[in-house]
Each structure stands twice: as C-alpha cells, then as structure tokens.
C-alpha cells in the first residue's frame, strides 16, 4: 500500500493508548482491527487504498443497486427529485400511484399542481417538489421532445435537478459513469474512510473521482449506502465485522469524547427561621 501505511503492532495496546490520548472513555470494540493510521497520505497511496475499498465493497455487497423503483429514465428522474429529504421506501410508496395517473412527461406536465401535491404530500416539501417536477416535465417536453437527456450539462439545466440527481439518472438509467453520487450517507462514510474531508457534495465528489477507479463509479455509492445500513451506521459502527477495517482510519469514530452530563443547578435553600 506504500509508505503512508504504518505497520501496526501491539494492536490492543495501540488502540487503548489512542483512545486515552483522545480523551475517550468508551470501551474499545472487542475483536476489531486497529484503525489505519494515515499520516500524510500521498495521492498515489490514496488511489490504491480507494481501489481496494471499491473491490471489497463489491465483494461484500454485490447485489447493491439503486433502491428507487423505476421502469424508465423519466420515472427515475422524478423519483430522485422526490427523494430529497425523504426515504427511498416512502418515495416507492408514492410513485406507483403517481405514474399510474401520469405515465409520461407530457401527461405529468399537464397535471394540476394541487392534484400532484396531494399525491406526493407524504414525501415532504411537497409544494417545492411539485413545482420542480412540473417545471422539469415541461422542460423535457419543450426542449427534449419528451425524452430525458443523456448528458450532465443538459440534465442540470432542468428545474429541480442538481449534480446528484443527474448522476443518479446517468448511472442507474443509462449506465454512464460521469460522476459519483454523493448523498448524506456517501459523504459521511467517505469522510470516515479518509477519502475526503469535504462536507459539501460537489467538493466531496471532486475528491472521490480522483481516487476511485472509474469502473466502480456507478455502483460505488449504492454499495456504500448498503454498507452504511448494514455495517457502518453513523452512531454504532460494527468495526469488528467490517471488511474495510484495516483500510479505515475511522475518522470521527474513535477518540471522540463523550459529552459531559449536564449539571443541574440547585436553587439555594433559604435558611429556616429560628
């Protein structure tokens, strides 16, 4: 892996010293591999590590795919717009009725705003989403003959469509690897892995495309999301069971001190009268 990887010896002692130096009072995860110590990692070393991470994710989650239900690019585009601040499961509960009533961009472009809002209300932010969906469908009809464009530049010009939505459609509907989808979960896990420090999606994607092999770009996000659900949740990661344990510095996991319990101030007791 290169000089950036420091050989680990006396695993348990190393973990304990690190934990104490960082002020953590939490007990170490029994049986887990010691966290990777990155030091000043060179870009070439990070690329090799990212490649190995991508390969192991492929082995651990081979069936991971887009969790939104769709039959064509148009349906995936609308479903992805609806998925903002909403679970994919909830979106899938809504889109069946949505596409039954309005099965094409032309049909949905002519929908009444209040009728659409009533169907998608349970996904949250339904007024803004309805406005974006109607505007997007009208743009598809007027600019693209009712077809979903297959370029990032054209997709991000549609109302309600940013880089994340465009990358989802290009990758999952058209099989085009033009970027890496970075949502909340992908951003969290890649920061934990030390592949990026950026908290904004655009900056994180810029870092990831430099190190993740291009042939993994489409599936990388789906596999990370599945990995986060099953092994690496935000609060209680199962590091002992993680296939990436020896490649992960666990940034934000170990050495995080517990919050001190709030001290209640007791009101001073008034002296009793004699």
SS3 70: coil
> Same domain for 190 and 241?
yes
Question: Do 148 and 24 fall within a single domain?
Answer: no
Instruction: Note the pTM of the prediction, 2 decimals.
Output: 0.78
Asked if 147 and 19 sit in the same domain, the reply is no
Closest CA to 19 of 217, 255, 180, 256: 255
pLDDT of residue 22: 42
CA dihedral 116, 122, 128, 134 (to 10 degrees): -30
Report the candidate in 130, 139, 177 with the shortest Cα–Cα distance to residue 157.
Answer: 139
Please indicate, yes or no, whether residues 230 and 202 belong to a single structural domain of this protein: yes
Domain that residue 110 falls in: 73-163
Domain co-membership, 154 together with 208? no
The DSSP line for 8-19 is P-SHHHHHHHHH
- The answer, yes or no, to whether residue 96 has pLDDT greater than 50, is yes
> Can you give the CATH number for the domain in which 90 is found?
1.10.340.30
Mark whether 17 and 86 lie in a shared domain: no
Using CB atoms within 10 A of its CB, is residue 235 exposed (0-12), middle (13-18) or buried (19+)? exposed
> In the block, which residue shows the tokens 């979106």?
91
265 belongs to a structural domain: no
Which burial class, exposed, middle or buried, applies to 257 when counting CB atoms under 10 A from its CB (0-12, 13-18, 19+)?
Answer: exposed
194 & 231 share domain: yes
| Domain shared by 156 and 193, yes or no | no
How many domains does the structure of the chain reveal?
2
* Region 190-215 average pLDDT: 96
Distance CA 217, CA 100 (A): 32
Closest by Cα among 171, 181, 161, 162 to 73: 171
The pLDDT of residue 267 is: 53
- Could you tell me if residue 229 is inside a domain? yes
Is residue 257 one of the residues assigned to a domain? no
Assess whether pLDDT exceeds 70 at residue 155. Answer: yes
Q: For residue 10, what pLDDT band results from cuts at 50, 70 and 90?
A: very low
**When comparing pLDDT for 53 and 21, which is higher?**
53
Is the pLDDT assigned to residue 149 strictly greater than 90?
yes
252 assigned to some structural domain = no
Active centre residues (catalytic): 164, 183
What residues have CB less than 8 Å from 212, skipping those under 6 apart?
50, 51, 54, 180, 195, 220
Residue 35: predicted pLDDT: 77
Quick one: 78 and 102 in the same domain? yes
């Amino acid at each position: 892996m290169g000089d950036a990887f420091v050989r680990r010896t006396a695993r348990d002692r190393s973990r304990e010293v690190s934990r104490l130096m960082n002020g953590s009072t939490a007990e170490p995860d029994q049986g887990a591999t010691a966290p990777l110590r990155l030091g000043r990692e060179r870009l070439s070393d990070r690329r090799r590590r990212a490649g190995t991470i991508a390969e192991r994710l492929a082995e651990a989650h081979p069936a991971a795919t887009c969790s939104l239900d769709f039959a064509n690019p148009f349906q995936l585009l609308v479903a992805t717009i609806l998925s903002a601040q909403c679970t994919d499961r909830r979106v899938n509960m809504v889109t069946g009725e949505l596409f039954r009533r309005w099965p094409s961009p032309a049909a949905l472009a002519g929908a009444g705003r209040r009728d659409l809002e009533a169907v998608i209300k349970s996904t949250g932010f339904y007024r803004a989403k309805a406005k974006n969906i109607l505007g997007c469908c009208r743009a598809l009809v007027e600019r693209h003959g009712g077809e979903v464009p297959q370029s990032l530049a054209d997709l991000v010009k549609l109302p309600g469509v940013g880089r994340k939505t465009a990358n989802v459609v290009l990758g999952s509907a058209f099989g085009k690897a033009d970027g890496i989808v970075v949502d909340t979960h992908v951003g969290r896990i890649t920061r934990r892995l030390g592949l990026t420090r950026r908290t904004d999606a655009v900056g994180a994607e810029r870092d990831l495309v430099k190190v993740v092999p291009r042939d993994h770009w489409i599936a990388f996000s789906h596999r990370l999301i599945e990995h986060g659900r099953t092994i690496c949740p935000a609060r209680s990661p199962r590091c002992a069971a993680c296939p990436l344990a020896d490649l992960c510095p666990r940034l934000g996991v170990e050495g995080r001190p517990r919050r001190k319990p709030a001290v209640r101030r007791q009101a001073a007791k008034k002296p009793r009268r004699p």
